[in-house]
Amino acid sequence: MKGAEAAAQNRLVSTISNTYRKILLNPSYKYLLLLLGAPVNLVVFLIYWIWRRKDPSTQAEERIHSQLVESGALIKLRADIYEQEKRKAAFFKRTADERQLQRQAERIADVQLRELVKEQAAKELKLSGQQRLSMADTFERLLQHPLFLAASFIPGLLMYILIFLYSNPYMKYIFERLVMTVFVIFGVAFLVFTILYLSPFNPAANILGQTATADQIAAFNRIHGLDQSYWVQLWNNIKGIAFFDLGRSFSGNEDITASIARKFPITLTLALISLIVAVAIALPIGIISATRPNSFFDYTFMFVALIGLSIPNFWQGLILILNFSIKLNWLPATFNPANWLSMIMPVIVLGTSLTASVARMTRSSTLEVINEDYMLTAKAKGLGKQTILMKHAVRNALIPIITVIGLLFGGMLGGAAVTEKVFNISGIGSYIVDKQFIPDIPAIMGGVVYTAITISLINVIIDILYAFFDPRIRSKMKQY
Amino acid sequence: MINKLNSKRHTNHQLKSSPEYSQASFTFVLSLAITVILLLNSFHYADGTVRSWVFLAFAAYAVFTIIQLIIAILIRRDLLQAGDIRRSTRLLGYVQLLSILSGNLFTTVFGCNLVKKRKPPEYTIAVYMLLTQLCVMAISALNLFKPYVSNTFLPAMFGLLIITVFHFASLLLVAKYVDGHYAHPKLVWIALPLALSAVSGNLFALVLGINLLAKIRRNGNPALTRWGDVWVKLTGNSTAMLGLFFVVFLFCLSVCSLLTFEYSFAIDNNYSAILLPPSLEYPLGTDNFGRDLFSRIVYGARISLIVGFASTLVPVVIGGILGAISGYYGRHTDNIIMRMLDVLYAIPGILLAVAIIAAFGANTVNLIIALSVGAIPTYARTMRANVLLVSTYEYVDAARAFGSSNLSIIFKHIVPNSLAPMIVKSTLTIGSAVIATSSLSYLGLGVEPHIPEWGNILKIGSTYLETHSYLAIYPGLAIILLVLSFNFLGDGLRDALDPKLD
């Protein structure tokens, strides 16, 4: 019982110290680790510094260095390098200053000497079976004492969390991906705010009208914080986005976050339904086209897909309204969340270009996979046509398709503004467009940034799911 | 069973040996589609009367579609029986040439393809060059039915006529004296004037002139340059050529309309001609201010092309440079540039454009900037991936060993060799730039409302959807045709430049 416990603890210690060693070799994580565990690292460094003096490698290095200098190796090295430099300058027809050459030769000779010393010292140590002490070694030796582990646990908690994340490749990947996303979101907020801040328009004058006095404009600016400096406004807006409180809109005096929260689900629902419909139509079409390349089906489907890519959303919406609402009177022309019939036309319009792109992508991706060697193997094994297609071809072809779907979904959320205007849907897109005439800075910023956040999160989820489902990515990640 | 399979494969192989067969069926399907559309439109459904003009057009199209079907069947028979197309079948191509009078360009092009057995790319380019010229002349000539024409109309038409005659003569000469890898050296004398005649906007003439000069220079040498190879592949692809044809035609029309069209019909209000249905004087009708929809669409083409090209060129240059730098230098430079671009990439293009336009106001320049900024990251990523690949090649190491500076390696060796995917991508995205332009104009965020841009025309049309739906239908068709052409061209270029690229 006790043995098992000890073994578990040993394993823990060796994992921690191994990861610590690995992180110290990583140029970007190194500083993060040193910073997060600053108190612990300081202690480790002090001990390392003390132990270092008694280290056999330091002594050996010093001895070899003095030996080399005494035996005249340094002077010979300098002369050799000086000769080389001179010949190099002559070859490239460069006129070089004598003193400068000398100095350069000395510098290079010093570097080479240091390397030589290190090499010889390492050889000597290897012969005697010893090793050069490093910071990681010190940490490992210290960790062997349970007392150190317990004492360092609280001050080095952040560092241990980092070590834990780093020790598991999935965790590390997810952590990095999330950090990137947070960075991107702040970048988006900064960018959008800066663009709107640079605007030459004056929202106060636009809302209060030409007759507004200077006092009125100043009061308006004070209420909405427009008289503050750039950094203060930026900080307030980023804080507002993080805590879902963007204040009140310039015109109409409505709570912006509440409006966005009311309108966003409508856009998202429509986009999701169109996405599902589009994928359900596009995947079979793409697969059929790929299995019969250059056939009549293939040409027809791809031609229709190309037309679908070329139709502007708003025109398609207008034509649908003209035919199905005005002429045939089958479907309502404006959107109403309570009436599912009114959802049909917006879903078709939103999904058309997505269907077209996904069908084209599915075709090309499946075609590529069909010519792979493992398809031949599967055929040679005598598997049925259906099994080969579904299990071997489509499963492998799906990976790039899902990435494309993720990216296109983002475009769909952004491009929904036009469709929403045509069908009079009160979604986030038409909200942003309505607010831009003023321009209502916090409202536009909230709309754009929350859309960007949604898209980034969707892409993160897709990326992370890949890491779990695709064996190729999984094996690549283990090495990283 | 095996015999049957074999014979089926044999048949397929024989049919595929000649590109004419697939072209014949493709042309037939397209021609049939237009015939059906014309038939459906030749009746007034409300009162059951026949629109005589549309019906006449339908009849003409139907005749040539039937001939096309016969030709396709004959070609199939010839290929299966003789393994080659007979002379008598090829002669039928001359009959199809007559279809130019009915305006059926598909069958005309097919006729030109059929009558000549061995077609160097120059021949195909010359055919499209002449067709472009004829179409521009025909469209411009519609102005004759207007109450008055612009002052420069007559001289411009005369000039166009001369160019057309010259192009026709060039086509005949090219057909006779250019063959395979050989071109008659005296053709130099038409190659230069051909390149000069491209001032009318007919870019086919420029390409033909360059190709002729190149061919004469390396006469008899079967080695292909990259440029020549691309044209061989492109001219063999009918959809890509149709796309290129429409783009060049629209460009040529935009250039010629500077002289042959009267701008006042497109922008000046004419209250005596409000919301008129299509007629000879107003081929596509008039809008709520009595402005001629036809002239407006022709003017809109200019703006769509300018905005489309500009908002593609700017991000290609900026994104290309950023991508090349980050791909070449790698490590920290790469990290910093790509992380910055990730921020841009996270905002959907249209929303970013709306935000920029909200800040700086709606006009054409701001529109181009707004569309460009959002497109930079995609081009940078494409360029970076290519540069990463190309920088591992030996010639880059060789250049470095010779002591070239980093900048000269990037711009002399790496960038020219990684341009192909950028060209394909930009062609494919010009189409979406055109759509984005008209969408933003439709929302009132694009081109200024008084300029006849296609989105602006549609915006007016959408308010008359119930009563005068043609106001919304025709500009939409123009947008679709232009975008479709760019997509066809992009697909063709992708096949021609790099078959493995996606």
pLDDT tens-digit map of A259-312: 888 888 888 888 999 999 999 999 999 988 888 877 788 888 888 898 898 999
Token pair recorded at residue B360 = 């700086």
Q: Mind listing the pLDDT tens digit for each residue in A63-81?
A: 788 887 777 777 888 888 8
Based on C-alpha coordinates, what's the Rg of chain B?
25
* Amino acid, res. B334: D
Higher-confidence position of A17 and A129: A17
Helix (H, G, I), strand (E, B) or coil at A398: helix
Q: What angle do CA B44, B48, B50 make, to 5 degrees?
A: 60
Contact A312 B435 (CB under 8 A): yes
Is A311 within 8 Å of B354 when comparing Cβ atoms?
no
Paired tokens of B25: 């069926």
Alpha-helical (H) ranges within B82-202 are 87-97, 105-115, 121-141, 153-177, 188-196
**Cα distances (Å, whole numbers) of residue B324 to A62, B250, B404:** 47, 33, 17
B445's CB contacts (< 8 A; 6+ apart) are: A433, A436, B353, B354, B357, B358, B362, B367
Angle at A226 between CA A225 and CA A229, to 5 degrees: 95
- Taking the C-alpha atoms of residue B101 and residue B64, their distance in angstroms, rounded to an integer, is 11
Structure tokens at A129: 């079976």
**Confidence band (pLDDT; 50, 70, 90) for A130?**
low
Compare all CA atoms of chain A with the CA of B468 and give the residue at the minimum distance.
A322
In Å, how far is A106's CA from the nearest CA of chain B?
A: 26
A457 to chain B: nearest residue by CA?
B346
Please indicate whether, in this complex, the C-beta atoms of B349 and A421 are within 8 angstroms of each other: no
Q: What average pLDDT does the segment A229-239 reach?
A: 86
Compute the distance between CA of residue B53 and CA of residue B42 in angstroms, rounded to an integer. 8
Q: Give the residue carrying structure tokens 């929403």.
A: A420
User: Chain B residues with CB inside 8 Å of A308's CB?
Assistant: none
**Could you tell me the two tokens for B331?**
């490590």
For residue B363, the chain A residues in CB contact (below 8 A) are none
Q: Which of residues 247-276 of A touch B (CB under 8 A)?
A: none
d(CA B360, CA A194): 12
> Do B404 and B422 meet the contact criterion of CB atoms below 8 Å apart?
no
- Judged by CB atoms closer than 8 Å, whether chains meet at A421 and B343 is answered as no
Q: Which of A191, A315, A417 lies closest to B479 in CB terms?
A: A315
Chain B residue with minimal CA distance to A447? B351
Gap between the Cα atoms of B42 and B59, Å rounded: 10
Neighbours of B37 (CB within 10 A): 13
How many Cα atoms within 13 Å fall on the side-chain side of residue B21?
20
A468-475 average pLDDT score: 73
Contacts of A357 in chain B (CB under 8 A): none
ipTM above 0.95, yes or no: no
Say how many residues make up chain A: 480
Nearest Cα neighbor of A282 from A357, A375, A204 is A357
Question: Is there a contact between A409 and A319 (Cβ–Cβ < 8 Å)?
Answer: no
Q: Residues of B at the A interface (Cβ-Cβ below 8 Å)?
A: 339-340, 342-344, 346-352, 354-361, 431, 435, 438-439, 442-443, 445, 458, 461-462, 465-466, 469, 472-473, 476, 479-480, 483-484, 487-488, 491, 502
- Which residues, listed in sequence order, are joined to residue B178 by a DSSP beta bridge? B183
pLDDT at A132: 67
What rounded mean pLDDT belongs to chain A?
82
Judge: A184–B484 Cβ closer than 8 Å, yes or no.
Answer: no
Among B473, B432, B483, B477, residue whose Cα is nearest residue B243: B483
- Tell which A residues from 68 to 127 touch B, by Cβ distance under 8 Å: none
Instruction: Decide if B360 contacts A200 (C-beta within 8 A).
Output: yes
Report the sign of the C-alpha dihedral through residues A111, A116, A117, A121, in that order: positive
Q: Which residues contact A64 (CB under 8 A, 6 or more apart)?
A: A117, A120, A121, A124
pLDDT of residue B500: 55
Write out chain B residues lying below 8 Å of A410, CB-based: 348
Record the tokens describing residue A183, joined without a space. Answer: 């960075």
- Which of A185, A306, A432 lies nearest to residue B351, judging by beta carbons? A432
Q: Please report the pLDDT score of residue B368 as a whole number.
A: 92
Minimal Cα–Cα distance from B195 to chain A, Å?
32
- Whether residue A322 and residue B465 make contact (CB cut-off 8 A), yes or no, is yes
Could you read off the pLDDT tens digit of each residue along chain B, which spans 502 residues?
567 767 777 777 777 777 788 888 888 988 999 899 888 888 877 777 777 888 888 898 999 999 999 998 988 888 888 878 888 888 888 888 888 888 888 888 888 888 888 888 889 999 999 999 999 999 888 888 888 888 888 899 999 999 999 999 999 988 888 887 778 888 888 888 888 888 888 899 999 999 888 888 887 777 777 788 888 888 888 889 999 999 999 999 999 988 888 888 888 888 887 777 877 778 888 888 888 888 999 988 988 899 999 999 999 999 999 998 888 887 788 888 888 898 888 888 888 888 888 888 888 899 999 999 989 998 999 898 888 888 888 888 898 888 888 888 888 888 888 888 888 889 888 998 999 999 999 888 888 888 888 988 888 888 888 888 888 888 999 999 999 999 999 988 888 887 554 4
Contact state of B344 with A191 under an 8 Å Cβ cutoff: yes
Provide CB contacts within 8 A for A14, sequence distance 6+. none
A315 → closest Cβ in B351, B352, B476 = B476
Question: Chain B closest CA to A312's CA: distance in Å?
Answer: 6
Structure-block tokens of residue A2 = 């006790």
All CATH 1.10.3720.10 domain ranges of chain B, comma separated, are 262-495
Does residue A312 belong to the interface with chain B, where contact is any CB pair within 8 Å? yes
Best B351, B373, B481, B502 residue to mutate vs chain A (most A CBs within 10 Å): B351
The predicted structure's pLDDT at residue B175: 86
pLDDT for position B501 = 43
pTM equals 0.84
Tell me the C-alpha distance between B257 and B201, whole Å: 10
Question: To 5 degrees, how large is the angle CA B498–CA B501–CA B502?
Answer: 140
Q: With an 8 Å Cβ cutoff, is A188 touching chain B?
A: yes
Alpha carbon distance B494, B502 (integer Å): 8
B349 contacts in A (CB within 8 Å)? 411, 414-415
- pLDDT tens for each residue of A303-336: 889 889 899 988 999 888 888 888 888 888 787 7
The answer to whether the Cβ–Cβ distance between A199 and B342 falls below 8 Å is: no
In chain B, residues with a C-beta closer than 8 Å to the C-beta of A267 are none
Q: Does residue A195 sit at the B interface (CB-CB below 8 Å)? A: yes
Superfamily of domain B262-495: MetI-like (1.10.3720.10)
Q: Is the pLDDT at A131 greater than 70, yes or no?
A: no
Q: How far is CA A85 from CA A82, A92, A107, A113, B20, in A?
A: 5, 11, 12, 17, 69
Show the DSSP H helices in B330-348 as ranges.
331-346
Q: Which residues of B fall within a CB distance of 8 Å from A436?
A: 354-355, 357-358, 445
**Between chains, do B358 and A444 touch, taking CB under 8 Å as contact?**
yes
Would you state the structure tokens that stand for residue B421, as one six-digit string? 């995917």
Distance from chain centroid for Cα B185: 31
Higher-pLDDT residue of A247 and B499 is A247
Q: Residue A356: its chain B contacts at CB < 8 A?
A: none
Domains of chain A: 2-168 (no CATH), 256-437 (1.10.3720.10)
Are residues B346 and A417, on separate chains, in Cβ contact within 8 Å?
no
Q: In terms of CA atoms, which chain A residue is nearest residue B342?
A: A184
The CA–CA distances, whole Å, from A451 to A179, A268, A270, A413, B9 equal: 19, 10, 14, 7, 53
Interacting residues of B412 by C-beta distance below 8 A, sequence separation 6+: B399, B404
Mutation site, A199, A314, A328, interface B, largest B CB count within 10 A = A314
Chain A partners of B483 at a C-beta cutoff of 8 Å?
309-312
Q: How many CB atoms lie within 10 A of CB B101?
A: 10
Say what the pLDDT of residue B502 is: 40
Determine the Cα–Cα distance for residues B203 and B184; give it in Å rounded to an integer. 23
Q: What is the pLDDT of residues A166-194, one digit of tens each?
A: 777 778 888 888 888 898 999 999 998 89
Window from A141-155, A358-372, A385-399, B226-240 with minimum mean pLDDT: A141-155
Question: Which residue in the set B439, B442, B484 is minimally distant from A310, CB to CB?
Answer: B484
Provide, as residue numbers in chain A, all residues whose Cβ is less than 8 Å from the Cβ of B360.
198-200
The three-class DSSP label of residue A255 is strand
Instruction: Give the DSSP H or E segment for B394.
Output: helix B394-401
Q: What are A110's strand-pairing partners?
A: none
* Bond from prior residue into A439 cis (ω within 30 degrees of 0): yes
**Position B93, amino acid:** G
How many other C-beta atoms lie within 10 A of the C-beta of residue A419?
29
Strand partners, B441: none
CB contact (8 A) between residue A187 and residue B343: yes
CA distance B402 to chain A (A): 12
Give me the residue from A190, A195, A310 closest to B431, CB to CB.
A310
What is the C-alpha separation between A119 and A114, in angstroms, rounded? Answer: 9
